[in-house]
A and B are shown apart, each in its own frame.
Chain A
Amino acid sequence: MAGSTLASASVSVPLRASRGRPVSLAQDIWRRFKRHHLALLGALILLAIVLGVALGPWLWNVPINAIDFNARLAPPSWRHPFGTDDLGQDLLARMLYGGRISIAVGLAAMLIAVVVGTIVGAIAGMSRGTVDTALMWLTDLFLSLPQLPLLLLIIYLFRDSLKKVVGPEVGVFVLIVAVIGGFRWMSVARLVRAQFLSLREKEFVEAARALGASRLRQVARHILPNAMGPVIVAGTIDVANAIIAESTLSFLGLGFPPDIPTWGRVLYDAKDYLDIAPYWALFPGTLIFLTVLSINYVGDGLRDALDPRRIL
């Protein structure tokens, strides 16, 4: 990323590499990222949440579906730090388990969006004429689709048959990840195309072309690595958006089934008990909010850190 643009005369950075230890690209990005304090805080909170849901179920060894009618709707206590739901199930255990699904959905949907978007954007950016026009028309078309209604429509139409093929849990997971990812690639495609259009005319690509590099090698070796900065930022934000999308579906009762307590699903179950058990809704809601906020700040920090034109 650094070095993709020639430093203009007004941007004269003191050459730190010439004095002392050479600084690697990763070290430089980390140095720049650290300066955004809220992004650093967001990264720490995010790390805590991810570690919590990854290791939590082993440390807090309570079954997520142990029904205990003596402890129905119990407020938070030492026995049940997050309280219990209407069946007396421990909310902390459910939230730790559901968080894995929520975050996994976010990451997987982001991966689909980034891969599809990069491929579409790269093809559009490298080809001129009709292919480019057609792909961009498709991108604009997808951008103007009403996403949530279509997500609901597709899930409604395909849910039952996919469940039969691969089982209820995997089926819902695959479907939700595919549709969320399938409706989020457009911004990445536009970013990648814009980057490609400017990078493919740069001198270093011309040099590679002059040396006889094939088109594939030009793209994979020279253009794509330099175009990834904005894509990483967009991908980070996409994780947050995908987590919100999954929670929204689950909150509407059309996402994961009740035995998979993702955060949105827990919130959906809790909304009818707001008056007697507000903590039940507050914990998953706050977790979604904190996760999304942290990811957004990390994205903001990465935007600053990965932009070579910004001097930090």
Chain B
Amino acid sequence: MSFPGTYVLRRLLIALPSLLGISIVLFTVLALAPGDPFGELVSNPNVPPEVAAALRHKFGMDDPVLVRYLRWLVAMLQGDWGFSFASRIDVDTLIMQRLPTTILVIGSSQLLAILIALPVGVYAATRPYSLFDQVASTLTFIGFSLPTFFTGLLLILVFSIRLDWLPFVYRSDIAASGWHFYWEHFRQAIMPVTVLGLFQAASWTRYVRSAALDVIRLDYVTTARSKGLKERAVIVKHVVRNAMIPVVTLVALQLPAIFGGAIVTEQIFRVPGIGSLLISAILANDTPVIMAVTFVFSCLVILFNLAADILYGWLDPRISLR
């Protein structure tokens, strides 16, 4: 099967225009915005006007729009994201410090969401309109109607303030070593991961259920059953794999919302990731950091969409041959 090479390359080529499109949107927003990125320097009385003017000239703020866009894009792609006004270090260093935490929290919450959504959704689809299905569907409605900021506060209220089981501030400087270090990290990650994971699990359970319900009625499933296959084999090998195809699409479409939830969660639990970095940068008027974090989020969305496309090709080989 000629699956990986050409197919992956083709998807990559499709991803490039969207990256360009997103960069144009970002740059337009920045260019349309009133004031200019050097406003901070101009209004600062310690910076003499001639220095500000020299900086404007040096950074080519007075060039035509297209030239400025191309220069900005090249700089962004090279990882030259400028200098943080507030933290006084390079933006890329700052983001690289914060990114692993965000990826860890988002990754483990997605894992939790899949571990809940897949079995619950499939089980509900095998017994449609049963008591289990009705309870599960009510819970999913409640799950995605509960905003992440409220669930986060509720968990803090119950588990940190009332029961005092879990810490509600995420710390990166844990004074411990060995097993204790990992245990403390695990303890402080429980609540953020649960908040994000449950929210995602709620909508994914609905997708999995309806996709599995569509597949389970098809003739080839009846054929598999009448061949005498065990129910478990029918569900796991025949139903789930095909039900996953629409689910992967829907999950990829949901990715921007996941990052939104991650920003809120990081803010509530003070997780030192790029989401809380974005909020503090906005509150400190730190434009280079704001732009860079938004750019990183956009790249992550495209990257995960690409991953979803490739997964799609593996789940449904017909797609990669087209």
Contact = CB atoms under 8 A, between A and B. Distances in A.
A259 B101 CA distance: 35
Interface stretch (B106-114, B139-147, B187-195): B139-147
Contacts of A293: 141-142, 145
Given A148-B259, A149-B278, A289 B150 contact: yes
A140 B257 contact: no
A149 B297 contact: yes
B302 A144 contact: yes
Interface residues of B, number: 51
A285 B278 contact: no
B154 interface: yes
B79 interface: no
Given A267-B150, A292-B145, A149 B25 contact: no
Contacts of B17: 137
A252 B259 contact: no
Interface in B227-249: none
A54 interface: no
Contacts of B147: 244, 247-248, 285, 288-289, 292
Interface string B151-171: 001101100010000000000
User: Which of A38, A160, A278 has the most chain B CB within a 10 Å cutoff?
Assistant: A278
A220 interface: no
A145 B145 contact: no
Contacts of B257: 147
Interface stretch (A111-119, A151-159, A207-215): A151-159
Interface string B1-39: 000000000000000011001100110011001110000
Contacts of A144: 18, 22, 255-256, 301-302, 305
Contacts of B118: none
A289 B146 contact: yes
Nearest to A247: B147
A146 B145 contact: no
A156 B281 CA distance: 10
A145 B22 contact: yes
A261 B301 CA distance: 33
Contact of A140 (B18, B26, B264, B290): B18
B75 interface: no
B200 interface: no
Interface in B123-156: 138, 141-142, 144-150, 153-154, 156
A148 B154 CA distance: 22
A293 B256 CA distance: 22
13 contacts: A38-B138, A145-B25, A146-B298, A147-B256, A147-B260, A149-B259, A149-B260, A150-B294, A158-B33, A248-B147, A248-B148, A281-B157, A285-B153
Interface of B: 17-18, 21-22, 25-26, 29-30, 33-35, 138, 141-142, 144-150, 153-154, 156-157, 161, 253, 255-257, 259-260, 263-264, 267-268, 278-279, 282-283, 285, 290-291, 293-294, 297-298, 300-302, 305
